[in-house]
């Protein structure tokens, strides 16, 4: 089973990549609000929520899930954010400081999710995460 530290390291590396990107910040109105697992009650929009799901052994393919939420007349801002997120994450290869491990994210699927609220846009996406290592990953340098 994958160590908790590895999951946290991968999730933190993705969080850093998304929240520090100037193009994604601009697409979302100036900053990237990214929450783990769920957003707080009534967060300012737009925002993102992400989570990692691990399967079985270390060398299995794991799943990274990311949702984009916005309140607007059109989905234009969400569409721009989705495009930039794909550029940042699809086929992104990361390594550790000692190069003892590496990983690869690959786009798997995505789509808009209907909501009950008018002008609330929700887009959910899924990435496959493949880790290659002889040990847990804890120091990702991208």
Task: Note the pLDDT of residue 100.
Answer: 55
Per DSSP, 89 falls in state: H
Q: Retrieve residue 14's tokens.
A: 């993705």
Alpha carbons 12 and 119: distance in angstroms, whole number: 31
Distances in whole angstroms, Cα of residue 120 to Cα of each of 28, 33, 60, 77, 115: 15, 16, 35, 12, 7
- Position 133 pLDDT exceeds 70: no
Task: Note the pLDDT of residue 22.
Answer: 98
Share of the chain above pLDDT 90, in %: 59
By CB atoms closer than 10 A (0-12, 13-18, 19+), residue 130 is middle
Task: Note the pLDDT of residue 1.
Answer: 41
Instruction: List, in order of start, the domains of the chain with CATH numbers.
Output: 4-133 (3.30.2000.20)
Give the range among 3-7, 16-20, 70-74, 127-131 with minimum mean pLDDT: 3-7
Task: Note the pLDDT of residue 98.
Answer: 61
Confidence category of residue 54, pLDDT binned at 50, 70, 90: confident
- Position 46 pLDDT exceeds 60: yes
Question: Which is more confidently placed, 131 or 46?
Answer: 46
Contact yes or no for 61/10 (Cβ under 8 A) = no
pTM here?
0.86
Region 79-93: what's the mean pLDDT? 94
Alpha carbons 128 and 107: distance in angstroms, whole number: 6
Task: Note the pLDDT of residue 58.
Answer: 57
Q: Give residue-wise pLDDT tens across range 7-35.
A: 777 888 899 999 999 999 999 999 999 99
């Amino acid at each position: 089973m994958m160590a908790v530290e590895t999951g946290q390291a991968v999730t933190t590396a993705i969080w850093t990549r998304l929240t520090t990107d100037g193009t994604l910040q601009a697409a979302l109105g100036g900053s990237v609000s990214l929450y783990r697992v769920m957003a707080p009650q009534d967060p300012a929009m737009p925002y993102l929520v992400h989570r990692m799901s691990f399967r079985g052994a270390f060398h299995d393919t794991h799943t990274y899930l990311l949702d984009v939420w916005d309140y607007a007349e059109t989905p234009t801002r969400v569409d721009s954010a989705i495009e930039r997120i794909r550029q940042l994450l699809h086929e992104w290869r990361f390594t550790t400081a000692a190069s003892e491990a590496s990983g690869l994210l690959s786009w798997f699927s995505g789509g808009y999710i209907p909501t009950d609220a008018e002008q609330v846009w929700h887009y959910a996406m899924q990435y496959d995460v493949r880790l290659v290592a002889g040990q847990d990953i804890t120091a990702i340098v991208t």
